[in-house]
Structure 1
Amino acid sequence: MGISERKEKQKLEIRKAILDASMKLFVEQGYENVSIRKIADLIEYSPTTVYLYFKDKNEILFQLHEIGFQKMAEYNAELWTIKNPLVRLHKMGEFYMKFGLENPAFYDLMFILNAPMEALQVVEKCEWKSGDQALGKLKETIQECMDKNLIEKGDVDGISMAFWSLVHGMVSLAIRNRFDKLVTADQMVPTMTKGLTWLMNVVDTSGNKT
Structure 2
Amino acid sequence: MLKDTPEEWRVTATATPFTGKKTSVRTDEVVMPDGSTATRDYQVHPGSVAVLALDDQERVLVLRQYRHPVRHKLWEIPAGLLDIPGENPLHAAQRELYEEAHVKAEDWRVLTDVYTTPGGCDEAVRIFLARGVSEAEGERYEVSEEEADMEVARVPLADLVRGALAGDLHNNCLVVGALALHAALADGALDALRPAEAPWPARPFTV
Tell me, yes or no, whether TM beats 0.5: no
TM-score range for the pair, normalised by the shorter chain length: under 0.3
**Looking at CA atoms only, which structure, 1 or 2, has the larger radius of gyration?**
1
What TM-score do the two structures reach when normalised by structure 1? 0.25
Bigger fraction of residues in strand: 2
Bigger fraction of residues in helix: 1
